[in-house]
Structure 1
Amino acid sequence: MATYQKRGGKPKTKKEKQDKIEEESTTAEVFNTLDEKASKTEEFVSKYQNVIVGVIVVVILVILGFLGYNKFIIQPQQEEASNELNQSQIYFDTALESTNPVERDSLFNIAINGAQGKFGFVDIAQEYSSTKAGDLANYYAGISYLNIGEYQKAIEYLEKFSADDEIIATFAIGAIGDAFLQLEQEEDALEYFEKAAKRKDNNYTTPKYLFKAALTAIQLDKADKAVEYLETIEEKYPDSEEAKKLAPYLGKAQAMKS
Protein backbone atom coordinates (compact mmCIF):
# COMPACT_ATOMS: atom_id res chain seq x y z
CA MET A 1 0.00 0.00 0.00
CA ALA A 2 1.35 3.36 -0.89
CA THR A 3 2.09 5.80 1.94
CA TYR A 4 2.09 9.62 1.76
CA GLN A 5 4.06 12.03 3.83
CA LYS A 6 1.87 14.63 5.53
CA ARG A 7 2.52 18.20 4.46
CA GLY A 8 4.77 19.88 6.99
CA GLY A 9 5.75 16.59 8.55
CA LYS A 10 9.34 15.95 9.60
CA PRO A 11 11.34 13.95 6.98
CA LYS A 12 12.46 10.57 8.24
CA THR A 13 14.42 8.87 5.49
CA LYS A 14 17.49 10.15 3.68
CA LYS A 15 15.49 10.52 0.45
CA GLU A 16 12.77 12.50 2.23
CA LYS A 17 15.42 14.79 3.71
CA GLN A 18 16.98 15.31 0.27
CA ASP A 19 13.54 16.03 -1.27
CA LYS A 20 12.83 18.51 1.52
CA ILE A 21 16.09 20.35 0.89
CA GLU A 22 15.40 20.53 -2.88
CA GLU A 23 11.83 21.74 -2.29
CA GLU A 24 13.02 24.49 0.06
CA SER A 25 15.74 25.44 -2.41
CA THR A 26 13.25 25.70 -5.30
CA THR A 27 10.84 27.77 -3.20
CA ALA A 28 13.65 30.09 -2.22
CA GLU A 29 14.66 30.52 -5.85
CA VAL A 30 11.06 31.37 -6.81
CA PHE A 31 10.81 34.00 -4.09
CA ASN A 32 14.21 35.39 -5.01
CA THR A 33 13.10 35.67 -8.65
CA LEU A 34 9.89 37.41 -7.61
CA ASP A 35 11.85 39.77 -5.36
CA GLU A 36 14.21 40.58 -8.24
CA LYS A 37 11.32 41.29 -10.63
CA ALA A 38 9.55 43.41 -8.05
CA SER A 39 12.76 45.31 -7.42
CA LYS A 40 13.28 45.91 -11.15
CA THR A 41 9.65 47.04 -11.52
CA GLU A 42 10.08 49.47 -8.63
CA GLU A 43 13.29 50.78 -10.19
CA PHE A 44 11.55 51.21 -13.59
CA VAL A 45 8.58 53.01 -12.03
CA SER A 46 10.87 55.20 -9.96
CA LYS A 47 13.05 56.04 -12.97
CA TYR A 48 10.18 56.78 -15.37
CA GLN A 49 7.61 57.99 -12.86
CA ASN A 50 7.22 61.41 -14.46
CA VAL A 51 6.80 59.92 -17.92
CA ILE A 52 4.20 57.39 -16.74
CA VAL A 53 2.25 60.07 -14.87
CA GLY A 54 2.47 62.30 -17.94
CA VAL A 55 1.07 59.59 -20.23
CA ILE A 56 -1.81 58.89 -17.82
CA VAL A 57 -2.62 62.60 -17.62
CA VAL A 58 -2.57 62.91 -21.42
CA VAL A 59 -4.91 59.92 -21.81
CA ILE A 60 -7.31 61.39 -19.25
CA LEU A 61 -7.20 64.79 -20.95
CA VAL A 62 -7.87 63.22 -24.36
CA ILE A 63 -10.88 61.31 -23.01
CA LEU A 64 -12.25 64.38 -21.22
CA GLY A 65 -11.57 66.50 -24.30
CA PHE A 66 -13.46 64.08 -26.53
CA LEU A 67 -16.42 63.93 -24.15
CA GLY A 68 -16.46 67.70 -23.81
CA TYR A 69 -16.17 68.27 -27.55
CA ASN A 70 -19.00 65.83 -28.21
CA LYS A 71 -21.28 67.36 -25.56
CA PHE A 72 -20.60 71.06 -26.01
CA ILE A 73 -19.73 71.27 -29.72
CA ILE A 74 -21.04 68.30 -31.73
CA GLN A 75 -24.40 67.80 -29.99
CA PRO A 76 -25.44 71.50 -30.15
CA GLN A 77 -24.31 71.66 -33.78
CA GLN A 78 -26.29 68.52 -34.61
CA GLU A 79 -29.42 69.99 -33.02
CA GLU A 80 -28.94 73.31 -34.81
CA ALA A 81 -28.31 71.58 -38.15
CA SER A 82 -31.39 69.38 -37.74
CA ASN A 83 -33.54 72.44 -37.13
CA GLU A 84 -32.17 74.10 -40.26
CA LEU A 85 -32.65 70.91 -42.25
CA ASN A 86 -36.32 70.57 -41.29
CA GLN A 87 -37.41 73.69 -43.16
CA SER A 88 -35.53 72.75 -46.33
CA GLN A 89 -37.04 69.27 -46.15
CA ILE A 90 -40.52 70.82 -46.16
CA TYR A 91 -39.72 72.62 -49.43
CA PHE A 92 -38.20 69.39 -50.80
CA ASP A 93 -41.23 67.24 -49.91
CA THR A 94 -43.63 69.84 -51.29
CA ALA A 95 -41.66 69.93 -54.55
CA LEU A 96 -41.91 66.15 -54.91
CA GLU A 97 -45.67 66.30 -54.45
CA SER A 98 -46.20 69.19 -56.89
CA THR A 99 -47.48 68.45 -60.40
CA ASN A 100 -46.56 71.92 -61.67
CA PRO A 101 -43.07 71.80 -63.29
CA VAL A 102 -42.39 75.50 -62.67
CA GLU A 103 -43.46 75.27 -59.04
CA ARG A 104 -41.41 72.11 -58.57
CA ASP A 105 -38.23 73.73 -59.86
CA SER A 106 -38.83 76.81 -57.72
CA LEU A 107 -39.34 74.75 -54.57
CA PHE A 108 -36.28 72.60 -55.25
CA ASN A 109 -34.20 75.76 -55.73
CA ILE A 110 -35.45 77.17 -52.44
CA ALA A 111 -34.65 73.85 -50.73
CA ILE A 112 -31.15 73.97 -52.19
CA ASN A 113 -30.33 77.64 -51.56
CA GLY A 114 -32.59 78.56 -48.65
CA ALA A 115 -34.99 81.47 -48.19
CA GLN A 116 -36.21 83.97 -45.59
CA GLY A 117 -32.98 83.81 -43.62
CA LYS A 118 -32.97 80.02 -43.50
CA PHE A 119 -30.15 77.86 -44.79
CA GLY A 120 -30.72 75.59 -47.78
CA PHE A 121 -29.18 72.16 -48.23
CA VAL A 122 -25.94 73.53 -49.70
CA ASP A 123 -25.27 75.85 -46.75
CA ILE A 124 -26.23 73.20 -44.22
CA ALA A 125 -23.88 70.68 -45.85
CA GLN A 126 -21.04 73.22 -45.71
CA GLU A 127 -21.64 74.78 -42.29
CA TYR A 128 -22.45 71.55 -40.46
CA SER A 129 -20.26 69.10 -42.35
CA SER A 130 -19.22 67.28 -39.16
CA THR A 131 -22.82 66.39 -38.26
CA LYS A 132 -25.21 63.71 -39.51
CA ALA A 133 -27.67 66.41 -40.57
CA GLY A 134 -24.93 68.09 -42.59
CA ASP A 135 -24.14 64.80 -44.30
CA LEU A 136 -27.83 64.19 -45.01
CA ALA A 137 -28.02 67.67 -46.57
CA ASN A 138 -25.57 66.43 -49.22
CA TYR A 139 -28.05 63.72 -50.17
CA TYR A 140 -31.01 66.08 -50.38
CA ALA A 141 -29.00 68.64 -52.33
CA GLY A 142 -27.94 65.94 -54.80
CA ILE A 143 -31.49 64.68 -55.32
CA SER A 144 -32.76 68.25 -55.69
CA TYR A 145 -30.14 69.06 -58.33
CA LEU A 146 -31.05 65.83 -60.12
CA ASN A 147 -34.69 66.89 -60.25
CA ILE A 148 -33.94 70.32 -61.74
CA GLY A 149 -31.56 68.90 -64.34
CA GLU A 150 -28.21 70.04 -62.89
CA TYR A 151 -26.64 66.62 -63.17
CA GLN A 152 -22.99 67.42 -62.50
CA LYS A 153 -23.91 69.15 -59.24
CA ALA A 154 -26.15 66.21 -58.38
CA ILE A 155 -23.18 63.86 -58.76
CA GLU A 156 -20.93 66.20 -56.76
CA TYR A 157 -23.21 66.27 -53.72
CA LEU A 158 -24.30 62.65 -53.86
CA GLU A 159 -20.66 61.53 -53.91
CA LYS A 160 -20.05 63.51 -50.70
CA PHE A 161 -22.86 61.68 -48.96
CA SER A 162 -22.09 58.71 -46.71
CA ALA A 163 -24.80 57.16 -44.56
CA ASP A 164 -25.15 54.27 -42.15
CA ASP A 165 -28.64 53.63 -43.51
CA GLU A 166 -28.15 51.05 -46.26
CA ILE A 167 -31.34 51.93 -48.14
CA ILE A 168 -30.64 55.67 -48.35
CA ALA A 169 -27.02 54.95 -49.27
CA THR A 170 -28.30 52.68 -52.06
CA PHE A 171 -30.62 55.39 -53.35
CA ALA A 172 -27.70 57.83 -53.42
CA ILE A 173 -25.58 55.46 -55.52
CA GLY A 174 -28.50 54.77 -57.85
CA ALA A 175 -29.19 58.49 -58.22
CA ILE A 176 -25.59 59.02 -59.36
CA GLY A 177 -26.31 56.41 -62.02
CA ASP A 178 -29.44 58.37 -63.04
CA ALA A 179 -27.39 61.56 -63.36
CA PHE A 180 -24.74 59.87 -65.51
CA LEU A 181 -27.48 58.42 -67.69
CA GLN A 182 -28.89 61.90 -68.27
CA LEU A 183 -25.40 63.08 -69.19
CA GLU A 184 -25.30 60.26 -71.76
CA GLN A 185 -22.43 58.58 -69.93
CA GLU A 186 -23.99 55.14 -70.08
CA GLU A 187 -20.89 53.21 -69.02
CA ASP A 188 -20.68 55.21 -65.80
CA ALA A 189 -24.42 54.89 -65.28
CA LEU A 190 -24.23 51.11 -65.64
CA GLU A 191 -21.41 50.94 -63.11
CA TYR A 192 -23.44 52.82 -60.49
CA PHE A 193 -26.65 50.88 -61.14
CA GLU A 194 -24.70 47.67 -60.62
CA LYS A 195 -23.21 49.04 -57.38
CA ALA A 196 -26.67 50.03 -56.16
CA ALA A 197 -28.11 46.60 -57.00
CA LYS A 198 -25.34 44.86 -55.04
CA ARG A 199 -25.30 47.26 -52.09
CA LYS A 200 -28.04 45.70 -49.97
CA ASP A 201 -30.04 42.71 -51.14
CA ASN A 202 -33.77 43.30 -50.66
CA ASN A 203 -37.02 43.04 -52.60
CA TYR A 204 -37.21 46.74 -53.43
CA THR A 205 -33.89 48.36 -54.33
CA THR A 206 -32.22 45.25 -55.74
CA PRO A 207 -34.73 44.59 -58.57
CA LYS A 208 -35.13 48.34 -59.10
CA TYR A 209 -31.45 48.84 -59.92
CA LEU A 210 -30.99 45.49 -61.65
CA PHE A 211 -33.74 46.64 -64.03
CA LYS A 212 -32.04 50.00 -64.62
CA ALA A 213 -28.73 48.20 -65.15
CA ALA A 214 -30.36 45.85 -67.65
CA LEU A 215 -31.91 48.69 -69.68
CA THR A 216 -28.60 50.54 -69.71
CA ALA A 217 -26.81 47.33 -70.77
CA ILE A 218 -29.24 47.05 -73.71
CA GLN A 219 -28.33 50.61 -74.72
CA LEU A 220 -24.67 49.62 -74.63
CA ASP A 221 -25.29 46.41 -76.66
CA LYS A 222 -24.29 44.32 -73.66
CA ALA A 223 -26.94 41.67 -74.18
CA ASP A 224 -25.33 39.08 -71.88
CA LYS A 225 -25.50 41.43 -68.90
CA ALA A 226 -29.03 42.54 -69.73
CA VAL A 227 -30.28 38.95 -69.91
CA GLU A 228 -28.48 38.04 -66.69
CA TYR A 229 -29.99 40.94 -64.74
CA LEU A 230 -33.50 40.50 -66.09
CA GLU A 231 -33.50 36.74 -65.46
CA THR A 232 -32.27 37.38 -61.92
CA ILE A 233 -35.27 39.67 -61.34
CA GLU A 234 -37.60 37.06 -62.83
CA GLU A 235 -36.23 34.24 -60.68
CA LYS A 236 -35.41 35.94 -57.38
CA TYR A 237 -37.84 38.87 -57.23
CA PRO A 238 -40.99 37.62 -59.04
CA ASP A 239 -43.29 39.84 -56.93
CA SER A 240 -41.43 43.08 -57.66
CA GLU A 241 -42.83 45.82 -59.89
CA GLU A 242 -39.88 45.31 -62.24
CA ALA A 243 -40.75 41.63 -62.72
CA LYS A 244 -44.18 42.64 -64.07
CA LYS A 245 -42.74 44.73 -66.90
CA LEU A 246 -39.50 42.99 -67.86
CA ALA A 247 -40.85 40.54 -70.51
CA PRO A 248 -40.41 42.74 -73.61
CA TYR A 249 -36.95 43.85 -72.52
CA LEU A 250 -35.87 40.30 -71.79
CA GLY A 251 -37.10 39.26 -75.24
CA LYS A 252 -35.18 42.10 -76.83
CA ALA A 253 -31.98 41.25 -74.92
CA GLN A 254 -32.27 37.56 -75.81
CA ALA A 255 -32.77 38.47 -79.48
CA MET A 256 -29.67 40.67 -79.37
CA LYS A 257 -27.71 37.85 -77.78
CA SER A 258 -28.64 35.19 -80.39
Structure 2
Amino acid sequence: MATYKKRGYKPKNKVEEVEQIEEHSTTAEVFNTLDEGASKTEEWVAANQKYILGAVGLVALVILGYLGFQKFIQEPKEQEAANEMFTAQQYFDNAVNGNSKISDSLYNLALNGGEGKYGFLEIIENYGGTSAANRANYYAGFSYLNMNKYKEAIDYLGDFKGEDDMLGPLAIGGIGDAFSQLDQPEEALGYYEKAANAKSNELVTPRFLLKAAITAISLDKPEVAVPFLERIKEEFPKSVEANQVDVHLGKAQAMK
Protein backbone atom coordinates (compact mmCIF):
# COMPACT_ATOMS: atom_id res chain seq x y z
CA MET A 1 0.00 0.00 0.00
CA ALA A 2 1.40 3.40 -0.97
CA THR A 3 2.24 5.85 1.84
CA TYR A 4 2.36 9.61 1.69
CA LYS A 5 5.89 11.08 1.90
CA LYS A 6 6.34 14.66 3.04
CA ARG A 7 8.19 17.20 0.90
CA GLY A 8 11.94 16.93 1.54
CA TYR A 9 11.63 13.37 2.75
CA LYS A 10 14.98 11.54 2.70
CA PRO A 11 15.18 7.80 2.17
CA LYS A 12 16.31 5.81 5.16
CA ASN A 13 18.07 3.11 3.21
CA LYS A 14 19.19 2.02 -0.25
CA VAL A 15 15.87 0.32 -1.05
CA GLU A 16 13.86 3.46 -0.32
CA GLU A 17 16.36 5.51 -2.32
CA VAL A 18 15.84 3.27 -5.36
CA GLU A 19 12.06 3.44 -4.94
CA GLN A 20 12.17 7.23 -4.76
CA ILE A 21 14.33 7.43 -7.88
CA GLU A 22 11.93 5.11 -9.77
CA GLU A 23 8.92 7.10 -8.58
CA HIS A 24 10.44 10.35 -9.77
CA SER A 25 11.43 8.71 -13.03
CA THR A 26 7.87 7.40 -13.63
CA THR A 27 6.33 10.79 -12.83
CA ALA A 28 8.73 12.53 -15.14
CA GLU A 29 7.96 10.01 -17.88
CA VAL A 30 4.22 10.62 -17.52
CA PHE A 31 4.66 14.38 -17.77
CA ASN A 32 7.02 13.99 -20.69
CA THR A 33 4.43 11.83 -22.47
CA LEU A 34 1.74 14.42 -21.80
CA ASP A 35 4.01 17.20 -23.02
CA GLU A 36 4.79 15.25 -26.19
CA GLY A 37 1.07 14.60 -26.81
CA ALA A 38 0.23 18.26 -26.27
CA SER A 39 3.03 19.32 -28.56
CA LYS A 40 1.85 16.98 -31.32
CA THR A 41 -1.70 18.27 -30.93
CA GLU A 42 -0.50 21.85 -31.15
CA GLU A 43 1.56 21.01 -34.21
CA TRP A 44 -1.41 19.31 -35.88
CA VAL A 45 -3.70 22.24 -35.09
CA ALA A 46 -1.10 24.70 -36.42
CA ALA A 47 -0.63 22.65 -39.60
CA ASN A 48 -4.37 22.26 -40.20
CA GLN A 49 -5.58 25.60 -38.89
CA LYS A 50 -6.81 26.70 -42.29
CA TYR A 51 -8.99 23.60 -42.68
CA ILE A 52 -10.27 23.74 -39.10
CA LEU A 53 -11.35 27.36 -39.46
CA GLY A 54 -12.92 26.54 -42.80
CA ALA A 55 -14.92 23.66 -41.29
CA VAL A 56 -16.08 25.80 -38.35
CA GLY A 57 -17.05 28.57 -40.76
CA LEU A 58 -18.97 26.12 -42.94
CA VAL A 59 -20.93 24.74 -39.96
CA ALA A 60 -21.75 28.29 -38.83
CA LEU A 61 -22.84 29.18 -42.38
CA VAL A 62 -25.11 26.12 -42.58
CA ILE A 63 -26.72 26.95 -39.21
CA LEU A 64 -27.24 30.60 -40.13
CA GLY A 65 -28.58 29.58 -43.53
CA TYR A 66 -31.07 27.18 -41.97
CA LEU A 67 -32.26 29.78 -39.44
CA GLY A 68 -32.58 32.37 -42.21
CA PHE A 69 -34.52 29.94 -44.39
CA GLN A 70 -36.93 29.16 -41.56
CA LYS A 71 -37.43 32.82 -40.64
CA PHE A 72 -37.62 34.54 -44.00
CA ILE A 73 -38.84 31.81 -46.37
CA GLN A 74 -40.52 28.90 -44.61
CA GLU A 75 -42.53 30.84 -42.01
CA PRO A 76 -44.05 33.28 -44.54
CA LYS A 77 -44.74 30.35 -46.86
CA GLU A 78 -46.51 28.48 -44.05
CA GLN A 79 -48.65 31.53 -43.26
CA GLU A 80 -49.55 32.12 -46.91
CA ALA A 81 -50.48 28.46 -47.38
CA ALA A 82 -52.63 28.50 -44.24
CA ASN A 83 -54.50 31.55 -45.55
CA GLU A 84 -55.12 29.81 -48.87
CA MET A 85 -56.50 26.76 -47.03
CA PHE A 86 -59.35 28.73 -45.45
CA THR A 87 -61.64 28.92 -48.47
CA ALA A 88 -60.91 25.38 -49.64
CA GLN A 89 -61.64 24.13 -46.13
CA GLN A 90 -64.99 25.93 -46.14
CA TYR A 91 -65.99 24.27 -49.41
CA PHE A 92 -65.04 20.89 -47.99
CA ASP A 93 -66.97 21.41 -44.73
CA ASN A 94 -70.06 22.58 -46.64
CA ALA A 95 -69.85 19.51 -48.89
CA VAL A 96 -69.69 17.19 -45.88
CA ASN A 97 -72.49 18.89 -43.93
CA GLY A 98 -74.69 20.23 -46.74
CA ASN A 99 -77.03 19.05 -49.46
CA SER A 100 -75.78 15.81 -51.02
CA LYS A 101 -77.10 16.89 -54.45
CA ILE A 102 -74.52 19.66 -54.69
CA SER A 103 -71.78 18.00 -52.63
CA ASP A 104 -69.78 16.95 -55.71
CA SER A 105 -69.72 20.56 -56.92
CA LEU A 106 -68.48 21.70 -53.53
CA TYR A 107 -65.82 18.99 -53.44
CA ASN A 108 -64.68 20.13 -56.88
CA LEU A 109 -64.39 23.70 -55.61
CA ALA A 110 -62.48 22.45 -52.58
CA LEU A 111 -60.08 20.58 -54.84
CA ASN A 112 -59.66 23.14 -57.62
CA GLY A 113 -60.40 26.43 -55.89
CA GLY A 114 -62.88 29.24 -56.27
CA GLU A 115 -63.35 32.94 -55.49
CA GLY A 116 -59.79 33.58 -56.63
CA LYS A 117 -58.41 31.20 -54.00
CA TYR A 118 -56.44 28.01 -54.43
CA GLY A 119 -58.00 24.62 -53.93
CA PHE A 120 -56.31 21.71 -52.17
CA LEU A 121 -54.57 20.52 -55.34
CA GLU A 122 -52.93 23.89 -56.02
CA ILE A 123 -51.91 24.23 -52.38
CA ILE A 124 -50.18 20.85 -52.59
CA GLU A 125 -48.44 21.88 -55.81
CA ASN A 126 -47.39 25.39 -54.77
CA TYR A 127 -46.69 24.99 -51.06
CA GLY A 128 -44.94 21.64 -50.85
CA GLY A 129 -43.23 21.02 -47.54
CA THR A 130 -45.69 23.09 -45.50
CA SER A 131 -48.13 21.83 -42.88
CA ALA A 132 -50.98 23.23 -44.97
CA ALA A 133 -49.92 21.21 -48.02
CA ASN A 134 -49.76 18.09 -45.87
CA ARG A 135 -53.29 18.68 -44.57
CA ALA A 136 -54.41 19.42 -48.13
CA ASN A 137 -53.41 15.85 -49.03
CA TYR A 138 -55.77 14.61 -46.30
CA TYR A 139 -58.73 16.70 -47.45
CA ALA A 140 -58.08 16.06 -51.13
CA GLY A 141 -58.04 12.33 -50.41
CA PHE A 142 -61.39 12.43 -48.64
CA SER A 143 -62.85 14.72 -51.30
CA TYR A 144 -62.01 12.11 -53.92
CA LEU A 145 -63.26 9.29 -51.68
CA ASN A 146 -66.62 11.02 -51.25
CA MET A 147 -66.77 11.60 -55.01
CA ASN A 148 -66.21 7.85 -55.58
CA LYS A 149 -62.82 8.43 -57.18
CA TYR A 150 -61.08 5.76 -55.17
CA LYS A 151 -57.68 5.51 -56.86
CA GLU A 152 -57.14 9.25 -56.48
CA ALA A 153 -58.25 8.98 -52.85
CA ILE A 154 -55.65 6.30 -52.19
CA ASP A 155 -52.90 8.42 -53.75
CA TYR A 156 -53.58 11.57 -51.74
CA LEU A 157 -54.38 9.87 -48.44
CA GLY A 158 -51.19 7.87 -48.86
CA ASP A 159 -49.21 11.11 -49.16
CA PHE A 160 -50.65 12.49 -45.92
CA LYS A 161 -48.33 12.29 -42.91
CA GLY A 162 -50.40 12.35 -39.74
CA GLU A 163 -48.99 11.93 -36.25
CA ASP A 164 -52.03 12.90 -34.18
CA ASP A 165 -54.59 10.55 -32.66
CA MET A 166 -57.38 11.35 -35.10
CA LEU A 167 -56.32 12.35 -38.60
CA GLY A 168 -53.55 9.76 -38.97
CA PRO A 169 -55.78 6.70 -38.32
CA LEU A 170 -58.65 8.26 -40.29
CA ALA A 171 -56.44 8.68 -43.35
CA ILE A 172 -55.23 5.08 -43.13
CA GLY A 173 -58.78 3.83 -42.64
CA GLY A 174 -59.89 5.97 -45.59
CA ILE A 175 -57.46 4.07 -47.78
CA GLY A 176 -59.07 0.89 -46.47
CA ASP A 177 -62.50 2.23 -47.47
CA ALA A 178 -61.22 3.04 -50.97
CA PHE A 179 -59.82 -0.48 -51.43
CA SER A 180 -63.09 -1.93 -50.14
CA GLN A 181 -65.02 0.05 -52.76
CA LEU A 182 -62.59 -1.17 -55.41
CA ASP A 183 -63.51 -4.73 -54.36
CA GLN A 184 -60.04 -5.43 -52.96
CA PRO A 185 -60.96 -6.72 -49.49
CA GLU A 186 -57.55 -8.16 -48.67
CA GLU A 187 -55.94 -4.74 -49.08
CA ALA A 188 -58.83 -3.11 -47.22
CA LEU A 189 -58.38 -5.49 -44.29
CA GLY A 190 -54.69 -4.64 -44.03
CA TYR A 191 -55.40 -0.90 -43.87
CA TYR A 192 -58.27 -1.29 -41.40
CA GLU A 193 -56.00 -3.26 -39.10
CA LYS A 194 -53.24 -0.70 -39.49
CA ALA A 195 -55.68 2.15 -38.73
CA ALA A 196 -56.97 0.35 -35.63
CA ASN A 197 -53.43 -0.11 -34.33
CA ALA A 198 -52.08 3.32 -35.29
CA LYS A 199 -53.36 5.07 -32.15
CA SER A 200 -55.67 4.13 -29.30
CA ASN A 201 -58.67 6.41 -29.66
CA GLU A 202 -62.19 5.94 -28.26
CA LEU A 203 -63.81 7.23 -31.46
CA VAL A 204 -61.59 5.94 -34.23
CA THR A 205 -60.11 2.65 -33.02
CA PRO A 206 -63.38 0.69 -32.48
CA ARG A 207 -64.64 1.91 -35.87
CA PHE A 208 -61.77 0.31 -37.73
CA LEU A 209 -61.68 -2.77 -35.52
CA LEU A 210 -65.29 -3.41 -36.54
CA LYS A 211 -64.58 -2.75 -40.22
CA ALA A 212 -61.60 -5.10 -40.04
CA ALA A 213 -63.73 -7.79 -38.41
CA ILE A 214 -66.55 -7.49 -40.97
CA THR A 215 -64.05 -7.58 -43.83
CA ALA A 216 -62.32 -10.64 -42.34
CA ILE A 217 -65.69 -12.41 -42.07
CA SER A 218 -66.40 -11.63 -45.73
CA LEU A 219 -63.04 -13.23 -46.57
CA ASP A 220 -63.99 -16.36 -44.59
CA LYS A 221 -61.37 -15.59 -41.92
CA PRO A 222 -63.25 -15.94 -38.61
CA GLU A 223 -60.01 -16.57 -36.74
CA VAL A 224 -58.91 -13.07 -37.78
CA ALA A 225 -62.27 -11.42 -37.07
CA VAL A 226 -62.82 -12.77 -33.54
CA PRO A 227 -59.82 -11.02 -31.88
CA PHE A 228 -60.91 -7.69 -33.40
CA LEU A 229 -64.44 -8.08 -32.02
CA GLU A 230 -63.25 -9.24 -28.61
CA ARG A 231 -60.95 -6.25 -28.38
CA ILE A 232 -63.93 -3.92 -28.94
CA LYS A 233 -65.80 -5.62 -26.09
CA GLU A 234 -62.83 -5.46 -23.74
CA GLU A 235 -61.33 -2.04 -24.53
CA PHE A 236 -64.27 -0.02 -25.92
CA PRO A 237 -67.45 -1.36 -24.28
CA LYS A 238 -69.15 2.07 -24.39
CA SER A 239 -68.54 2.67 -28.08
CA VAL A 240 -71.30 2.64 -30.69
CA GLU A 241 -69.53 -0.27 -32.38
CA ALA A 242 -69.78 -2.37 -29.20
CA ASN A 243 -73.55 -2.66 -29.78
CA GLN A 244 -72.88 -4.61 -33.00
CA VAL A 245 -70.17 -6.90 -31.69
CA ASP A 246 -72.33 -9.82 -30.50
CA VAL A 247 -74.04 -10.21 -33.87
CA HIS A 248 -70.78 -10.34 -35.80
CA LEU A 249 -69.07 -12.40 -33.10
CA GLY A 250 -71.79 -15.03 -33.30
CA LYS A 251 -71.45 -15.13 -37.08
CA ALA A 252 -67.66 -15.49 -36.89
CA GLN A 253 -67.80 -18.24 -34.24
CA ALA A 254 -70.37 -20.17 -36.27
CA MET A 255 -67.96 -20.18 -39.23
CA LYS A 256 -65.21 -22.00 -37.31
Question: Normalised by the size of structure 1, how large is the TM-score?
Answer: 0.93
Q: Any idea what SS the aligned residue of 1:165 has?
A: coil
* 1:119 positional shift: 0.6
CA distance in 2 between partners of 1:86 and 1:116 (Å): 12
Q: Which residue of 1 aligns with 2:237?
A: 238
CA distance in 1 between partners of 2:91 and 2:202 (Å): 30
Q: Which residue of 1 aligns with 2:62?
A: 62
Identity %: 53
Question: How many residues were matched structurally?
Answer: 253
Question: Normalised by the size of structure 2, how large is the TM-score?
Answer: 0.94
* 1:166 positional shift: 3.4
Q: Which residue of 2 aligns with 1:36?
A: 36
Q: What CA deviation, in whole Å up to 9, does each residue of 1:203-241 have, x standing for no partner?
A: 222211010011111221212222221122122221111
CA distance in 1 between partners of 2:35 and 2:252 (Å): 82
* 1:5 positional shift: 6.3
Paired letter, 1:111:
A
Q: Any idea what SS the aligned residue of 1:75 has?
A: helix
Q: Any idea what SS the aligned residue of 1:141 has?
A: helix
Q: What CA deviation, in whole Å up to 9, does each residue of 1:19-75 have, x standing for no partner?
A: 332222122112211111111111111111111111111111111111111111111
Q: Which residue of 2 aligns with 1:248?
A: 247
Q: Which residue of 2 aligns with 1:191?
A: 190
Paired letter, 1:245:
Q
**Structure 1 residue ranges without an equivalent (≥5):** none
CA distance in 2 between partners of 1:31 and 1:226 (Å): 74
Q: How does 1:207-222 map to 2 (within 5 A)?
A: 207-222=206-221
Q: Which residue of 1 aligns with 2:126?
A: 127
Q: How does 1:82-231 map to 2 (within 5 A)?
A: 82-98=82-98, 100-231=99-230
Comparing 133-142 with 235-244, which one deviates more in the overlay?
Answer: 235-244
Paired letter, 1:64:
L
* 1:189 positional shift: 0.7
Comparing 8-17 with 58-67, which one deviates more in the overlay?
Answer: 8-17
CA distance in 1 between partners of 2:230 and 2:44 (Å): 70
Q: What CA deviation, in whole Å up to 9, does each residue of 1:176-217 have, x standing for no partner?
A: 001111111111111100100111123222211010011111
CA distance in 2 between partners of 1:205 and 1:244 (Å): 15
Q: Does the 8 A contact of 2:166 with 2:201 survive in 1?
A: no
Q: Does the 8 A contact of 2:189 with 2:216 survive in 1?
A: yes
The RMSD of aligned alpha carbons is 1.5
Q: Any idea what SS the aligned residue of 2:108 has?
A: helix
CA distance in 2 between partners of 1:185 and 1:172 (Å): 17
